[in-house]
Amino acid sequence: MSKETTFDFVVVGGGTAGVVVASRLSQKFSVALVEAGPNDILNPHITDPKSFLMLIGDGILMDYSSVPQSHCDNRNMTQFAGRAVSGSSAANMGVWTRASKTDYEVIAEKAGHRRFTFEGLLPYFKRTEHFWDTAADPKYHGFDGPIHTTAGRKYPMRNILQQSFSARGVETNPEPSDGDPTGLSAVCQNFRITSSSDSTRQHSARVYDLSRVHVLASTFVRKVMFQEGRATGVELLDGNQLLARREVIISCGAYKTPQLLMLSGIGPLLELSKHFIPQVVDSPEVGRNLFDHNSLVQYYQLRRPEKGFALPFTGTAKPEYGQGAPSDFIAFQALPTPDLKAALAADDPTIDDLHPHLRPKRCHHISMVFYNPLIAPPDYSSHLGGPLDGTHIALISLLLLPTSRGSITLPSTDPTAHPIIDPNYLSTSADRYSLRTAVRRNLQLAETEPLASELVAETPPDGFPALTSRSSDEEIDARISKFCGTIYHAQGTAALGTVLDAEFRVKGVKGLRVCDASVLPEAVGAMPQATIYALAELAAELIGTENGDE
């Protein structure tokens, strides 16, 4: 490693948020960025959005795997996360969305500061963004930020879907980024168009300047070091040290951030005692409050594949179809208040109308249609004929606002070991009701004209009946239990308001902050990456200002 071992700031974790924080601080300060994974930002499997599954073999997309989930057929659930410079931004589907004003209001209340409201975060949303539509409202969009977006591809099934969604009461929302995403809107992704038929992924290290940052890739941190209650640097796995004159910032993601905090002596006393780790701060919520977005994917056979509705779009293909994921719309939907309240009351009879999930303008689930069967598990392989034969589309039901909470705990004191992950998926009646209702709404959509005339039926997994709108709750629940999965949006395990104060500072010590998906105390009803970027921009500004960068 470099002989230089002392910096103004040491950022641990070079993922989505860590890169942003390091890049912004490096404009005024000396910064070291330590990342456990490789620095491989030009890897073609990263830059090409269609090749993200190849990143598993490259060691960039890691499966941390959960403990058996009792409400998911006792399965060990896949828990992918990026481990490389750029983190999960190097491996995600790139969907670029914001949540509702109400979601951010709830987060602000729990964090204890108005800067986390929609209005408070809006300048940072705009700062990150180079929005694809130059005619969009500048009140809500940025046009000179580092992250380019793309949307507006019009696939052959677009009008059919729009009409069927409308018939189900889901109307088009022309501006889903204004704090109310409810309705049907165009899928927007953070890919940059490079030609009439191609795009590249806009991952954090590709678009944020790290030229002034001392990057140490493929390097594990053993623990944060403290002296008289102040973080002074980090000890690496090889025994070397990096010292921080000002602060250490942890940005390792919702799985690894709580692990590093606990290895450093910050966490629940009982958990630390199990591993004989001296306690620096009793912080009982470190590793708690884990939540994630659970989903079910269903596959539908097209009645006339020769119409070119699905990949490879035979006879209908346009060059721009290669610029992003094969999907036109994302439908944000709320659940009916009386039914949701009843489900919430089954978990907690003391709830009232002020429960956060019952507030107006919250979207509890989304529906998406992909014009290919995505990643079909082995149970489907005998039916689908491959992802590119043009015979199937996929309908996705996604739970946005889970009430289930899980945990991250330590397997040992080895920082290279995967933490013990228990998401506790679907452990509440409210979550089971919410995902079941999302699935039922997609079943109804598939039977609504004009889409219904274009589909034969659902192609079910082996041993399961095809689901229809007439299927019982028990049949839908059985399918969910066996086949639901996460879309890898783990959050909440070092939350603002409990573990952190409103300036991202770890409570009980000085000179230590956290910024990544773990800081969110409550789920955002959207794909989270745009929010993570905004939080990172906010954190970098707060840190810089507090340390004399006026």
Output the pLDDT for position 376: 57
Half-sphere exposure of 31 (CA within 13 A, CB side): 27
Please give the structure tokens belonging to residue 546: 């507090």
At residue 85, φ and ψ (nearest 5 deg) are -60, 125
Task: Tell me the H-state helices in 96-185.
Answer: 101-111, 118-128, 158-167
Q: Whole-angstrom Cα distance, residue 332 to residue 295?
A: 14
Superfamily of domain 6-45+203-290+491-546: FAD/NAD(P)-binding domain (3.50.50.60)
Helix, strand, or coil here: 9?
A: strand
Judge contact between 524 and 8, C-beta under 8 A: no
- In this predicted structure, what is the pLDDT of residue 56? 78
Could you tell me which of 15, 21, 72, 22 has the C-alpha nearest to residue 38? 15
What helix, strand, coil percent values describe the chain, rounded to 5? 30, 25, 45
Calculate Rg over the CA atoms of the chain: 23
CA distance 500 to 503: 8
For residue 198, the model assigns a pLDDT of 83
Residue at token pair 């399918």: 479
Among candidates 222, 204, 316, which has minimal Cα distance to 260? 222
Does 278 belong to an annotated binding site? no
All CATH 3.30.410.40 domain ranges of the chain, comma separated, are 152-186+294-399+426-483
Evaluate whether 66 touches 294 at the Cβ level (below 8 Å): no
Q: Does 312 show up as a binding residue in the annotation? A: no
Cα(138)–Cα(231) distance, rounded to whole angstroms? 41
The CATH fold assigned to 152-186+294-399+426-483 is Cholesterol Oxidase; domain 2 (3.30.410)
Q: Which one, of 376, 415, 420, lies nearest residue 394 by Cα?
A: 376
Take residue 145 and report the two structure tokens written for it: 């930020």
Q: How far is CA 251 from CA 41, 411, 521, in A?
A: 18, 20, 16
Sign, CA torsion 290/486/422/409? negative
Cβ neighbours around 327 below 10 Å, total: 25
213 known member of a binding site: no
- Secondary structure class of 165 (helix, strand, coil): helix
Question: 95 among the known binding-site residues?
Answer: yes
3-state secondary structure of 37: coil
Q: How far is CA 455 from CA 142, 169, 306, 315, 345, in A?
A: 40, 20, 13, 19, 38
The H-or-E segment that residue 189 falls in is none
- Residue (of 121, 15, 66) closest to 404 by Cα position: 66
SS3 label, residue 440: helix
Is 106 assigned to a binding site? no
Per-residue tokens: 483: 């086949």
Instruction: Indicate yes or no: pTM above 0.85.
Output: yes
DSSP SS3 for 456: strand
Measured between its terminal Cα atoms, the distance across the chain in Å is 33
In this predicted structure, what is the pLDDT of residue 1?
A: 47
Q: What does the DSSP assignment read for 62-117?
A: EE--PPEETTTTTEE---EEE-STTGGGGTS--B-----HHHHHHHHHHHTSGGGS
Locate CATH 3.50.50.60 in the chain.
6-45+203-290+491-546
Q: Is 349 annotated as a binding residue?
A: no
Tens of each residue's pLDDT in the chain, 550 residues:
455 699 999 999 999 999 999 999 999 999 999 999 999 888 888 887 667 667 877 888 899 999 999 999 999 999 999 999 999 998 888 899 999 999 999 999 999 999 999 999 999 999 999 999 999 999 999 999 999 998 888 999 999 999 999 999 999 999 999 999 999 999 999 989 888 888 888 999 999 999 999 999 999 999 999 999 999 999 999 999 999 999 999 999 999 999 999 999 999 999 999 999 999 999 999 999 999 999 999 999 999 999 999 999 999 999 888 888 899 999 999 999 999 999 999 999 999 999 999 999 999 999 999 998 766 555 555 555 455 689 999 999 999 999 999 999 999 999 999 999 999 999 999 999 999 999 999 999 999 999 999 999 999 988 899 999 999 999 999 999 999 999 999 999 999 999 999 999 999 999 999 999 999 999 999 999 999 999 999 999 999 999 986 5
Residue 93 has what pLDDT? Answer: 85
Q: What integer pLDDT is reported at residue 51 of this predicted model?
A: 72
Burial class (CB in 10 A: 0-12, 13-18, 19+), 548: exposed
Concatenating the DSSP letter of every residue in 141-184 gives --BSSSEE-B-----TTHHHHHHHHHHTT--B-S-TTSS---EE
The response to whether 76 counts as a known ligand-binding position is no
CA 259 to CA 252: how far, in whole Å? 9
Give the residue among 148, 149, 198, 200 at the shortest CA–CA distance from 42: 200
**Residue 332 Cα to chain centre, angstroms:** 16
